[in-house]
Amino acid sequence: MGLHFKYAVMFALLTALCGGTAHAQLKGEVRDGALVAYAIAAPAFVHSGDTTGELARALTETLRRDLDLTGYFQVLDERSFIEAPTVPVDKVNFKNWLTVGAKGLVKATLTGTDPIELEMQAFDVAGGKSILHKKYKASAKAIRKAPHGFVRDLVQALAGIRLKFLSSRIAFVEKEAKTYKLMVADFDGADATAVVTSDKILTLPGWSADGTHLFYTAYTTGEPHLYAVDIKSRKVSLVSDHPGLNTSASAAPDGKNIALRLSKDGNAEIYLMNLASKALTRLTSNIAIDTAPSFSPDGKEIAFVSNRSGNPHIYRLFVNDPARVERLTDQGKYNQDPDYAPDGRYIAFTGRDEFFMFDIFLFDLQARTISRVTQKQGKNENPSFSPDGALMVFSSDRTGKNGIWVTNLAGDRQRKIYGGTGEAITPSWSPEVTITQ
Amino acid sequence: MTRYGIIILAVVAILCGPGCGMKSPEDERRLAEKAFKDALSGKDCAREDFLAAEELLMKAREAVNAKRYDEAKKLFLSAKEKAEKIAAYVRSHPDECDPKVKKEKVAQRTAGVDDGAISEETLSSKDPNMKFPVIHFEFNEYAVREEDKPLLKIMAEWMVNFPAAAIRVEGHADERGSIDYNMSLGERRAQEVRDELMKLGVDAKRFQIVSYGEERPIASGQNEDAWFQNRRAEFVRVN
């Protein structure tokens, strides 16, 4: 889709790919996606002229945040650095970086005003060798996203893993007084914009399989109908307006179908809808509430919520044999909002614990165990996996107001990415997309 | 050989203590049964844990009967742990678990909510402009409470008296729990209310149902009183 922006295509130059040792270094320290303290120094970006000072600071900040978010790096405090950031790459004394405990070093220089040229290079400090060298040329606006691609390529070079979240977006609803905004932001909370604004209820956004559209429910006519909005053109189209609830769309990986909750037959059930023909297949048949579908990555299963046992719990059904339903959670009394992980191993959900607190939990489909992700930090709800499964986004009111947070699966690295003037809720993480403009 | 045999026996005896694996775990049984007794008041409010503890206890007794003592011991310990958890829950949630406190609480807030304007006594089903009652629900429930049935009776009478009126039943949930699930809770509440009115002779065609989930609270605050007021079904005349 439309790469018609003047500097849309950043041209990159890969001079040195991973040295075998560096590759093994980071890879060896990855344990189940758990945090790895690969200490990295990211000194301030160097810029020429006063006009790009603020941009240089913003880019430095973006790089450090990205490195931190991946979970693979421990970003060192610049106050401990010995060597000035302005030392050119060919004059770097690697001993200065070894002394401050850095295993890796990223240097970056900005030149020009608009377009901006940005050169970034990562080094293995012990070996004094270049790991990754890239040059970008883009508008002052578009260049802000260059660190995302650099960090993605750096992790790829060091660990052989593609972190898709570094090119992805997050959608959520922001509610303030009587105004509802359907928001889309980059995964780090940058460029948050309202794609739909309404004085009627907007709720429960979910991405299309290709990340170009958002499904959401709006009470535009007074009834909860399902719509889709093209996030680029902002064009809205009606998807489903059956009597009752039309909500909770989860895109099938094939892009042709969605699972959704309809109550047209008198009771909330999960249906499969073909997006082209609008033909429906009913998947659940139960007098209980069945809702909140989430497709498995292979499209064969759907995780959902049902209160058929008396309280809401997480179940899964098999699309080709929907009568085959399996209950997954048997702990707690109030488990909701399942989200199937991209690797198919986990289902994240919101659970209410014995102290009546709402928190994020993971159901491990292999081990059949539940682990806790958030605890004693306010109300945490609506988990949604990043497209690589490395992170989850969720809403939390731990700072008083609901904001959008991301966490690793272990829950020991939680970061706030968005906090606005309203209540930011029901986040949904996009598939991998191009986020540069 | 015999010397080694004696050493092995001695080691086994030291490791296991007297009667290892051969004696019924009476201490564990006693402690588990006592803990279970203390957890009885959690039978309803911590129902799932209670059922689990009960099952563990049953399995442990079966294991004793089958002389699988090690297994029985572990099961008794788990049952005790579970029962202690229930007892702790009962202590920290008197609103839910103590029938006396629960009843008082319900009476209090019902009185609070119905204070003044809307109660059976003040409603007249002959008044064309009757102010419609608001029906309230327990947490995570959609069954109409006995104490609200007289209000529905008056509402049904009104609908019989004014047969041209069409009514939208709006269902709501409190802020707790997921936005998604709460939309269904709100819908079920509105449906239950409609079904009660249908049982009282009102034609199904005169109703519309809409759920606003947790989006339209009438009381702010994060406490049971506010939540109770927000878990409701309202009537709106649409013609």
Q: Where are the domains of chain A?
A: 20-162, 167-429
pLDDT computed for residue B10 by the predictor: 52
Looking at the domain A20-162, which fold is it? Rossmann fold (3.40.50)
pLDDT of residue A22: 40
| Minimum-distance CB partner of A247 among B140, B180, B191 | B180
**Alpha-carbon distance B9 to nearest alpha carbon in chain A (angstroms):** 38
| Environment class of B164 (CB within 10 Å of its CB; exposed 0-12, middle 13-18, buried 19+) | exposed
Candidate from A310, A337, A354 with C-beta closest to B180: A337
**Residues in contact with A160: Cβ distance below 8 Å, sequence separation at least 6, in sequence order:** A23, A27
Average pLDDT over residues A100-124: 94
Per-residue pLDDT tens over the stretch B29-52: 989 988 988 888 887 777 777 878
Query: What's the gap in Å between the CA of A27 and the closest CA on chain B?
Result: 38
pLDDT digits (tens, 9 = 90+) for A351-367: 998 778 899 999 999 99
Residue A26 has pLDDT above 90, yes or no: no
B210 interaction partners in chain A (CB closer than 8 Å): 222-224
Residue A315 has pLDDT above 50, yes or no: yes
pLDDT of residue A50: 67
pLDDT for A292 beyond 60: yes
pLDDT tens digit sequence for A327-342: 999 988 899 999 999 9
pLDDT at residue A27 tops 60: no
What does the block give as tokens for B202?
């009102």
Q: Is the pLDDT of residue A11 over 90?
A: no
Render each residue's pLDDT in chain B as its tens digit; 239 residues.
455 655 555 554 444 444 445 688 888 998 998 898 888 888 777 777 787 888 888 888 888 888 889 989 999 998 998 888 888 888 887 777 777 776 666 565 555 454 444 667 778 889 999 999 999 999 999 999 999 999 999 999 999 999 999 999 999 999 999 999 999 999 999 999 999 999 999 999 999 999 999 999 999 888 888 999 999 999 999 99
Quick one: average pLDDT of A10-17? Answer: 32
Strand-pair category, B207-211 with B167-171: parallel
Report whether CATH 3.30.360.10 matches the domain A167-429: no
pLDDT reading at A163 higher than 60: yes
Interchain proximity B180–A204, CB inside 8 Å: yes
**A301-306 CB contacts, 8 Å cutoff, 24+ apart:** A301/A340, A302/A250, A302/A259, A302/A270, A303/A328, A303/A338, A303/A339, A303/A340, A303/A347, A304/A270, A304/A338, A305/A335, A305/A336, A305/A337, A305/A338, A305/B178, A305/B180, A305/B181
Give the ipTM: 0.89
Strands A129-138 and A73-75: unpaired
Hey, of B97, B183, B189, B192, which one would you mutate to test binding to chain A, going by the most A CBs within 10 A of its CB? Answer: B183
User: How far lies A147's CA from each of A39, A74, A297, A425, in Å?
Assistant: 18, 17, 28, 27
Q: Do B180 and A354 touch (CB under 8 A)?
A: no
Name chain A contacts of B183, Cβ cutoff 8 Å: 203, 224, 245, 247, 291
Phi, psi of B142 (to 5 degrees): -130, 5
